[in-house]
Structure 1
Amino acid sequence: MKEKLDELKGLLTEVYDLEHVGALLHWDQSTYMPGGGAAARGRQSSIVERLAHEKMTDSRIGRLLEQLQPYEESLPYDSDDAGLIRAARRKFEKATKVPSSFMSKLISHQAETYQVWMEARPADDFSKVRPYLEKTLEYSRELAAYFPGYEHIADPLIDYDNEGVTASTLRQLFGELREQLMPLVQAVAEKEPVDDSCLKQWYPETAQWDFGLDVIRQLGYDFHRGRQDKTHHPFMTKFSLGDVRITTRVRENDLGEALFSTIHESGHAMYEQGISMDFEGTPLAEGVSPGVHESQSRLWENIVGRSRGFWEHFYPKLQKVFPEQLGSVSLDTFHRAVNKVQPSLIRTAADELTYNLHVMIRFDLELALLEGKLDIKDLPEVWRERYRSDLGIAPKDDADGVLQDVHWHMGIIGGMFQGYTLGNILSAQYYEAGLKAHPEIPDQIREGKFDTLHGWLKENIYRHGSKFTAQELTERATGSPLTIDPYIRYLKNKFGEMYSL
């Protein structure tokens, strides 16, 4: 059995390496590649994806998984070997249902669409991406069709990265969350608006960049195994457990843009850097789901990075970097500014209270598109109407409307956006469990010490990679399945105090 397991790991490592070559191609396209390379990059990405898919569907992997089943059943459920065989079987079974020719076609289309989107958004030209999005929708439906027996067409697309989660369960969860959020949003809206003009002054790019790097180095991001570069839409990517990179964008008239993006992406990266090195080269060497992954970026960005204690430590340092801009601005004023609640058009810049409304809009639109109730040509206007009804504002153009998010232009339609809200919910649930184990964490944050929190997360979340499902991991770490209660408590306590609710 040891020989068979080693043989399986060898085959899986070939898949792993090819997939991360594909990630390297995408990182280059998103950072340094000239626009003229788009067509060739689409071909290159397509070839790498096809090779990875063909290797993942190799009959030898299926045969080894069958031969290893008795060994798996003899092991404790939480053993590394059992977890590896489980994860490999799930990946193999999903991969064998989708033809390599389709995956190659899809990846080539995604690379081409991404390049078109990078040109269309600054030009506010939805017509340029419309035919590509129509093709993406067609491909998304085709992908779902390879997994028959679903209740909703989005279910297999959601389950792809969120095992066991369905459109029905998300609709119910989002409904419960919305019911709790709306009274909070309305109560804050009745208060005097917070003045955040201190963030909208001129902040030179280099100084912003360097300060952000200093912050995440202190949080625990390992620069020996990572780096940061500029991009159009910030993201984290990994080429191995020893090479986990982040990107950001800088606006010199908005201090919060790059700073909180950097903290956010470092949260994703610290998760990947914390995975057990024993898992390298296998399906276990990655975050278990988009929701768990997002929980880490949002935990570090919001629960830690926007907390009063965090800025008690870092604000004097920031004032020294920008004395003219912030020298006369009090900590109270600055802290309220970085936590300002105000309906906005851009999801990535949304405050904590209204952020999930952005996600719910996208989730609903994805379902309508997949169901055939909404056409791509009508998407911009329907988008505006939903923003008008849900947030009380509407974009004047498509650049800040339907074109703002990259997801549909580099992936599929369906199964993507819900991870952001699941991550918000889980961030509070994990943090609350960490505080229960280590009540001293808030005091340590005030002192600029993050080792205890980082260590608890690494021990209970990070090191496991994909050994457990998201549901299993959450129950093991917190003693409870996913629940919105800690998240609602966190929001009520934070904004109740800030806005005297």
Structure 2
Amino acid sequence: MNARNAYDTLLAHSRASADIASALNLLSWDQQVMLPPAAHAGRAGQIGALTAILHRRACDPALGDWLAACEGSDLTRDAASPEAANIRELRRDYDQAVKIPESLAVALAQAASLGQRAWELARKENDFNAFAPHLSTLLDLSRQKAEVLGYAGEAYDALLDLFEPGETVAGVAPILAELRDAATDILAAIADAPPPAPLPAGPYPAAGQAALLAQVTARLGLPRTASRLDVSTHPFSTLIGPGDARITTRFDEGDFTKAFFGAVHETGHALYSLGHAGPAHYGTPMGEAASFAVHESQSRLWENQVARSLPFWEFMLPLAAEQFPQLAGCTPEAVFRAVGATHPGLIRVDADETTYNPHIVLRFELELALIRKDLAVADLPGAWNEKSQAILGLTPPDNALGCLQDVHWSTGAFGYFPTYSLGNIYAACLFEAAGQAIPDLSARLAAGDFAPLLAWLGTAIHEKGRLLRPRALVAAATGRTPTAGPLVRHLRAKAAAIYGI
């Protein structure tokens, strides 16, 4: 078989696997949004069965033969070509997959399905002991996964690399520390400044919130014919397949901003997914996200750099006031200050921009200790409370507001949390570059014209898929190596605008 035939066969196999993965994604979405309570045990078996099929396809020895026929051929001569990127990334995926026994892959999938349901119930009942056995199982399986994958530094590196290729504990720990210290400095600088006035009190009826979310998501560019918005315990976004991006949020009638910014955040994810998963590249690495941090950069950019800006509220406030008359007396400046204010709190997903990254530091340090076996599962609640007090200055009153608040560990996603802060960094880098490329960007946002920004992101990031590794992708888009500098500048400038420091 010549290289071109091998490549075509390779992509056909990859696309067929993507169709199966789409069904798996739909099962997972349904479990979090619509599944009847009595169906969870059966759903775990269904997810396990499809996972086994996908794993066998990912480990098929024929893949190795097709890849070998492509490597070193004319298809890889230009390293920046889509063909070369597909071959390189499919090799990475194959080499990882063949290291993981099918029994381990299925066990992880089933444990994640059962663990997520156990977490939902445990969080609702504030019952850590009910979730602890599931967490222990997921940790044990994740350590096994790290060992079979292999690593040069430590086990956590192997897990982190699955979410963020090339990143290690040694690489992300200093970045997280820099962001934690920057947050500490900003909090100290605004400590004596009067806080902005809060938004008017509710109620903000859920029906009105849903109507407003439909308006803002469509205005940002999310096509209604290719998406839907639902309610779930933990807001998320998932791509089922081409033209099918699902997002969720949750409503609080006392505070419309929770659902609002949650939906904008998930819209950023969905726009990215739809931007690289078109028919031409679907089912291949060129039709997939570069990494979890790059994915997060898109959601955080729309949520923070755009939707928490003054120009955005110059456009959005009249629309919001149509749904909620109590906002009619507000000015865009007042809303900007209110939604950008710093309010140290216990809940990560409700955290403001300044205190968000310390939340990631808290989780990173704890999950690292769990993987290293420096921290026992039984001791997690106490360790969480101690570290929360040390890092956030707050101690949770119960585990539902502490170590049970996030879904990630219930699905075995150890190594995921650092990608949130890396995503914040990439978002700030990209928005700075977008402002240089679109000189009238602020005026466009104030007019509700988000198309130029979406188009720039589409060309610079979305359409690239996995053409480049994350840091290289952001560097190519911005013209400079990504650092925490733009994010720290953004946070300081916002604090200065809101608090007058």
TM-score of the superposition, structure 2-length normalised? Answer: 0.97
2:356 corresponds to: 355
Per-residue displacement from partner, 1:372-407 (whole Å, max 9, x unpaired)?
Answer: 111111111111111111111111011111110000
Q: C-alpha distance in 1, partners of 2:409/2:241?
A: 26
Q: C-alpha distance in 2, partners of 1:341/1:176?
A: 19
For 1:167-246, list aligned pairs within 5 A. Answer: 167-198=169-200, 200-246=201-247
1:8 equivalent in alignment to 2:1: no
Q: Does the CA contact (< 8 Å) of 2:344 and 2:392 recur in 1?
A: yes
2:249 corresponds to: 248
Q: Identify which of 94, 112, 120 aligns with 2:114.
A: 112
1:74 offset after TM fit, Å? Answer: 4.6
Q: C-alpha distance in 1, partners of 2:411/2:287?
A: 23
Q: Identify which of 40, 57, 60 aligns with 2:59.
A: 57
Per-residue displacement from partner, 1:131-155 (whole Å, max 9, x unpaired)?
Answer: 1101111111111101234212100
Q: C-alpha distance in 1, partners of 2:186/2:76?
A: 51
1:163 corresponds to: 165
Bigger CA drift: 334-343 or 24-33?
A: 334-343
Gaps of 5+ in 1: none
1:331 offset after TM fit, Å? Answer: 2.9
1:416 equivalent in alignment to 2:416: yes
Q: Does the CA contact (< 8 Å) of 1:189 and 1:342 recur in 2?
A: no
1:32 equivalent in alignment to 2:39: no
Q: Does the CA contact (< 8 Å) of 2:199 and 2:335 recur in 1?
A: no
Question: Aligned AA for 1:373?
Answer: D
Distance 1:74 1:207, change over 3 A: closer
For 1:306-385, list aligned pairs within 5 A. Answer: 306-323=308-325, 325-385=326-386
1:436 corresponds to: 436
Distance 1:74 1:16, change over 3 A: closer
Distance 1:445 1:66, change over 3 A: same
Per-residue displacement from partner, 1:58-96 (whole Å, max 9, x unpaired)?
Answer: 011110000111225653111111111111101000101
Secondary structure of 2:396's match? coil
1:188 offset after TM fit, Å? Answer: 1.9
Q: C-alpha distance in 2, partners of 1:165/1:73?
A: 28
Q: C-alpha distance in 2, partners of 1:221/1:10?
A: 29
Q: C-alpha distance in 2, partners of 1:331/1:131?
A: 49
Q: Does the CA contact (< 8 Å) of 1:228 and 1:246 recur in 2?
A: yes
Q: Does the CA contact (< 8 Å) of 2:75 and 2:83 recur in 1?
A: no
Aligned residues: 498
Q: C-alpha distance in 2, partners of 1:189/1:465?
A: 43
Q: C-alpha distance in 1, partners of 2:249/2:77?
A: 43
Distance 1:186 1:243, change over 3 A: same
Per-residue displacement from partner, 1:348-380 (whole Å, max 9, x unpaired)?
Answer: 000000000000000000111111111111111
1:455 offset after TM fit, Å? Answer: 0.4
Q: C-alpha distance in 2, partners of 1:313/1:480?
A: 32
1:107 offset after TM fit, Å? Answer: 0.3
Question: Aligned AA for 1:364?
Answer: E
For 1:293-308, list aligned pairs within 5 A. Answer: 293-308=295-310
Q: C-alpha distance in 2, partners of 1:115/1:56?
A: 27
Secondary structure of 2:405's match? coil
1:273 corresponds to: 274
1:220 offset after TM fit, Å? Answer: 0.6
Question: Aligned AA for 1:310?
Answer: F
Secondary structure of 1:229's match? strand
Q: C-alpha distance in 1, partners of 2:498/2:338?
A: 11
Q: Does the CA contact (< 8 Å) of 2:269 and 2:299 recur in 1?
A: yes
Q: C-alpha distance in 1, partners of 2:319/2:217?
A: 14
Q: Does the CA contact (< 8 Å) of 2:285 and 2:466 recur in 1?
A: yes
Q: Does the CA contact (< 8 Å) of 1:241 and 1:285 recur in 2?
A: no
Question: Aligned AA for 2:412?
Answer: G
Q: Identify which of 76, 79, 82 aligns with 1:80.
A: 82
1:454 corresponds to: 454
For 1:484-495, list aligned pairs within 5 A. Answer: 484-495=484-495
Aligned-residue CA RMSD (Å): 1.2
1:197 offset after TM fit, Å? Answer: 4.7
1:219 offset after TM fit, Å? Answer: 0.7
Secondary structure of 1:177's match? helix
Per-residue displacement from partner, 1:181-225 (whole Å, max 9, x unpaired)?
Answer: 211122123222333252x41111011011011011011111221
Per-residue displacement from partner, 1:97-133 (whole Å, max 9, x unpaired)?
Answer: 1011110011011101111111111111111101110
Secondary structure of 2:263's match? helix
1:54 offset after TM fit, Å? Answer: 0.5
Secondary structure of 1:402's match? coil
Question: Aligned AA for 1:481?
Answer: T
Q: C-alpha distance in 2, partners of 1:493/1:368?
A: 35
Bigger CA drift: 142-151 or 416-425?
A: 142-151
Q: Does the CA contact (< 8 Å) of 1:260 and 1:305 recur in 2?
A: yes
Per-residue displacement from partner, 1:427-460 (whole Å, max 9, x unpaired)?
Answer: 0100111111111111100111011111000000
Percent identity over paired residues: 35
1:161 offset after TM fit, Å? Answer: 2.1
Secondary structure of 2:73's match? helix
1:390 corresponds to: 391
1:479 corresponds to: 479
Q: C-alpha distance in 1, partners of 2:232/2:150?
A: 38
Q: C-alpha distance in 2, partners of 1:283/1:479?
A: 24
Q: C-alpha distance in 2, partners of 1:107/1:284?
A: 25
Q: C-alpha distance in 1, partners of 2:367/2:231?
A: 29
Q: Does the CA contact (< 8 Å) of 1:385 and 1:394 recur in 2?
A: yes
Per-residue displacement from partner, 1:250-309 (whole Å, max 9, x unpaired)?
Answer: 111111111000000000000011115321122332211111111010000010001000
Secondary structure of 2:427's match? helix
Question: Aligned AA for 1:486?
Answer: P
Q: C-alpha distance in 2, partners of 1:74/1:420?
A: 33
Q: Does the CA contact (< 8 Å) of 1:296 and 1:427 recur in 2?
A: yes
Q: C-alpha distance in 2, partners of 1:72/1:348?
A: 47
Secondary structure of 2:238's match? strand
Q: Does the CA contact (< 8 Å) of 1:15 and 1:53 recur in 2?
A: no
Q: C-alpha distance in 1, partners of 2:333/2:306?
A: 16
Q: Does the CA contact (< 8 Å) of 1:22 and 1:48 recur in 2?
A: yes
Q: Does the CA contact (< 8 Å) of 1:53 and 1:95 recur in 2?
A: yes
Q: C-alpha distance in 2, partners of 1:62/1:135?
A: 32
TM-score of the superposition, structure 1-length normalised? Answer: 0.97
1:468 offset after TM fit, Å? Answer: 1.4
Secondary structure of 1:467's match? coil
